[in-house]
Amino acid sequence: NSKLRHVEKDVLIPQIMRDRAKELCSDKVQAFTKCCQETGFLMVVKCRQENTALKDCLVGYYSDPSFYEECKAEYLKQREEYRATGIKKKNQKVTSNV
């Protein structure tokens, strides 16, 4: 059953999108973080370029319908595994290393 509840559409799938987008934009995340660490209080002024690049990267993924469908498919796969095993994905990683 691939029908989605409100919480899945509005919370769980967007969370996967945010996590994956941060990974895919990791170079821009690192550049912005480094700039903020180096400039302190002046980061609002001095890190504008890095902040804009990071926002553009993230928004590019958030507004991409095919990226949404990819993340939705990933969520449905995780949901199916959870329903079959009763084990959440994060817990599966922990137990598989033991």
H-helix or E-strand spanning residue 92 = helix 89-96
Q: 25 pLDDT exceeds 80? A: yes
Q: 44 pLDDT exceeds 90? A: no
The pair phi, psi for residue 47, each rounded to 5°, is -105, 20
pLDDT computed for residue 58 by the predictor: 98
pTM: 0.76
- Spell out the domain ranges in the chain: 6-78
Read off the pLDDT of residues 46-96 as tens digits, 9 standing for 90 and up: 999 999 999 999 999 999 999 999 999 999 999 999 988 888 776 444 443
DSSP 23-58: HHTHHHHHHHHHHHHHHGGGHHHHTHHHHHHHHHHH
Rounded average pLDDT over 13-29:
97
pLDDT computed for residue 86 by the predictor: 85
